[in-house]
Structure 1
Amino acid sequence: MRCFYFLFVPLFLTAACSKKSSDETAGQQSQVLVRNGFEDLDGWVPNNPSLTKEKPHAGQYSVKVDQNIEYGLTYINQIGRLSPTRINKIRLTAWAYQEKPGKAAVVVQINSPVPNAPGVFYQKIDITEVGKWTKLSQVLTMPAVVDPASEIRIYLWRHEAGGPVYMDDLELSVTP
């Protein structure tokens, strides 16, 4: 019986580690840069009213905006920390829920590393569906002026939403 464990466990671990993702098997290799379901933020960030347990897509937490919260919790990082090589295209994927008709959006913004310089990139991904979780997915082409020290910001913006809006399960990946 003990011999069985010594043979089975390494075989199982090898099989588990060698599984390819569906993107790789389809001939498209994508590198995930950021993946967040907002589960691990509780206790790590200062108390933020946009981090909520009210309506998660998966897990217990999501980010919320409403008439009292204009901008949701923001992801901020330098481009060079996400990837050691130049990024030409990224895919943003997130799940969004809008309770009432209106204009809310997920925003991807890249700022210049030079203080007080104009923004380098800005893309607003509108949330159009109402009353159900909707998967947002958009490929964004990075401008040539993006520098490794440039700062990327991703956030939920209330804009002209008619009621609460939620975002969950955000993923940012390099797209070939």
Structure 2
Amino acid sequence: MKSLFYALTALSLVACSSDAEKGDAGDYITRNDFESMVGWLPDAGTLTKAHAHSGAYAVVVDPEHEFSLTYNAQLGKVSPHKLKGITLEAWVFLPDNKATGVLGVQITDPDQGNKEVFGDGIKLQEAVKEYNKWVKVSKEITLPANIAYTQNLKVFLWRSGAASPVYMDDISIKGVE
């Protein structure tokens, strides 16, 4: 009976080995379908029922809204390990070729007045080849080695000069350790 216990314990330890050790995507930092955002924000102008991939809500940027709602969290609070990168995934809706939005990622330093120390993202006009339908976009972004736990991760939809509205829904950010 003891040998069975030890075998199961050893097997469970192997099964619990972290994907992070292999450099694979780790735990989700956040996932949002924007269903529970109504009423929580002072300016929910980018929250819309006009188009949604799932549920009733999505976010939109258009000539009246340069940036969507922004995910903003201190790196030390989103992962117990220093992140090597993130995997960014979302569903986007571009009505036509005038929709030039960017799903942006920034690392900012609050000790330097929230100065950007890193920026990247998904240029939607390059990533999306079909218009007037929901398309899944994804990108693994490598973060610089000199990022600090005290810096902030920001993720947002940016209009980037789009003449047509750009919609985003069902976003997920997953850590790569």
TM-score where L is the length of structure 1: 0.80
1:169 has 2:170 as partner: yes
SS of 1:81 mapped into structure 2: helix
Q: Partners in 1 of 2:88 and 2:114 — Cα distance?
A: 25
Judge conservation of contact 2:92–2:137 (CA < 8 Å) in 1.
yes
Q: Partners in 2 of 1:167 and 1:72 — Cα distance?
A: 9
Q: Give the alignment partner of residue 66 of structure 1, picking from 62, 66, 70.
A: 62
2:124 matched to which residue of 1? Answer: 127
Q: How far is 1:124 from its partner?
A: 2.7
Q: How far is 1:101 from its partner?
A: 1.0
Give me the identity figure in percent: 34
1:85 has 2:81 as partner: yes
Change (3 A) 1:50 1:170: same
Q: How far is 1:29 from its partner?
A: 5.9
Q: Give the alignment partner of residue 115 of structure 1, picking from 109, 112, 116.
A: 112
Listed as ranges, the gaps of 5+ residues in structure 1 are 1-23
Q: Partners in 2 of 1:135 and 1:29 — Cα distance?
A: 18
TM-score where L is the length of structure 2: 0.79
Q: How far is 1:162 from its partner?
A: 2.7
Q: How far is 1:118 from its partner?
A: 3.9
Q: Partners in 1 of 2:170 and 2:76 — Cα distance?
A: 23
Letter matched to residue 50 of structure 2: E
1:30 has 2:31 as partner: no
4+ residue segments displaced more than 2 Å: 27-30, 115-118
Change (3 A) 1:170 1:29: closer
